[in-house]
Amino acid sequence: MCVTCGCSNDGEIKITNLETDKAEHNHTHTLPDGTVITHSHSHDTHIEAPQIHAKIHNTTISLEENILAKNNLLAAQNRGWFKGLNILALNLMSSPGAGKTTLLTRTINDLKHQLSISVIEGDQETANDAKKIKETGSKVIQINTGTGCHLDASMIDRGLQQLNPPLNSVVMIENVGNLVCPALFDLGEQAKVVILSVTEGEDKPIKYPHIFRASDVMILTKIDLLPYVNFDVQKCIEYATEVNPKIQIFQVSATTGVGLDNWYKWVIDKVVN
């Protein structure tokens, strides 16, 4: 079990390059004494990572601070790597079904003649969303977290080695669908973007405040459905700005294209600056 967020990590993490169909597997195992070890392999390679949980004198010692410290160190390295290549990295977060992939594919298709956009796709299982991204012509790496509910800096580091994004480009990281755990882990991104659809409740920003507080941008999606759902846009905006007065908010429909120009301008301005 993850000592930081409580999700299970006793399983397999798989990173797949859809260009080569080469998969790297990362396994975690819990020993009888409670020790959790992680190892990864890609075909003939086998690498062991440090234990993340220890049991001493029958007392389980949580290493939450150490885990987050290690993650933050790796995130800082990722951030330096992005900066060195002049790459804008964005961490897209939402609950399942909010429309991250639809927004992402529309964004890539509309901006691919202006920006080079690569994608790291995070899901517990399947490469379904990565296949949709690949259809746009964008480079994409699929990370399957197994029973894990978020991406971390180490996964991004390994994904970037396979993705190999070009200089002066954009890397979109589509995190696992979850409004809690992804906000806890710095990936080295320049900005966090939380996506909320009008098919969810307008009170999400105050029910899950940390992810909205941690985000630079909130994208309110599926606004074309507003005539058919009971959703108070103004109240949602009030809740979001109550939690995070500095958050920028875009109201968009990836289906009709309404509002996307403001989102695109924000991305382009981030690349230029």
Q: Does residue 63 or residue 16 have the better pLDDT?
A: 16
Whether 189 and 78 map to the same domain: the answer is yes
Whether 190 and 256 map to the same domain: the answer is yes
Residue 226 sits in a domain whose CATH number is 3.40.50.300
Token representation of residue 139: 């480079």
Burial category of 127 from C-beta neighbours within 10 Å (exposed 0-12, middle 13-18, buried 19 and up): buried
Asked, for residue 5, whether it belongs to a domain, the answer is no
Whether the pTM exceeds 0.85: the reply is no
Asked, for residue 3, whether it belongs to a domain, the answer is no
pLDDT of residue 58: 45
Whether 151 and 258 map to the same domain: the answer is yes
Give per-residue pLDDT as tens, 31-65.
Answer: 333 333 333 444 333 333 334 344 444 444 455 66
Instruction: With beta carbons less than 8 A apart as the criterion, state whether 81 and 188 touch.
Output: yes
Q: Residue 221 and residue 67: Cα distance in Å, rounded?
A: 34
Instruction: Beginning with the edge strand found earlier in the chain, give each strand of the sheet holding 12-17 in spatial order.
Output: 59-61, 47-56, 36-41, 22-30, 12-17, 140-144, 117-123, 170-174, 88-94, 191-197, 217-221, 248-251
Whether 21 and 144 map to the same domain: the answer is no
Give per-residue pLDDT as tens, 80-122.
Answer: 999 999 999 999 999 999 999 999 999 999 999 999 999 999 9
Whether 46 and 146 map to the same domain: the answer is no
Give per-residue pLDDT as tens, 156-193.
Answer: 999 999 999 999 999 999 999 999 999 999 999 999 99
Q: Residue 120 and residue 140: Cα distance in Å, rounded?
A: 6
pLDDT of residue 20: 76
Please count the structural domains in the chain: 2
DSSP state of 35: -
Asked, for residue 4, whether it belongs to a domain, the answer is no
Instruction: With beta carbons less than 8 A apart as the criterion, state whether 21 and 13 touch.
Output: no
Asked, for residue 56, whether it belongs to a domain, the answer is yes
Lowest mean pLDDT among 57-61, 128-132, 215-219: 57-61
Token representation of residue 200: 């969810």
Q: Where does a domain end: 36, 69, 102?
A: 69
List % helix, strand, coil for the chain (3-state, nearest 5): 35, 25, 40
Lowest mean pLDDT among 66-80, 170-184, 231-245: 66-80
Q: What is the mean pLDDT of residues 245-269?
A: 98
Q: Residue 98 and residue 54: Cα distance in Å, rounded?
A: 37
| Res 155 pLDDT > 90 | yes
Q: Residue 15 and residue 25: Cα distance in Å, rounded?
A: 6
How far from chain centre, in Å, is Cα 97?
A: 14
Q: What is the mean pLDDT of residues 229-233?
A: 98
pLDDT of residue 39: 37
Whether 205 and 89 map to the same domain: the answer is yes
Token representation of residue 45: 């390679």
Asked, for residue 1, whether it belongs to a domain, the answer is no
Domain of 125 in residue numbering reads as: 74-272
Q: Residue 18 and residue 225: Cα distance in Å, rounded?
A: 33
pLDDT of residue 8: 56
- Report in angstroms the alpha-carbon separations of 202 from 26, 176, 240: 38, 21, 9
Q: Where does a domain end: 69, 85, 116?
A: 69
Q: Residue 31 and residue 37: Cα distance in Å, rounded?
A: 8
Q: Where does a domain end: 54, 69, 84?
A: 69
Query: Which pLDDT band, with edges at 50, 70 and 90, does 12 fall under?
Result: confident
Q: Residue 170 and residue 93: Cα distance in Å, rounded?
A: 16
H runs (alpha helix) in 85-179: 100-111, 128-134, 153-163
Could you tell me which residues are beta bridge partners of residue 242? none
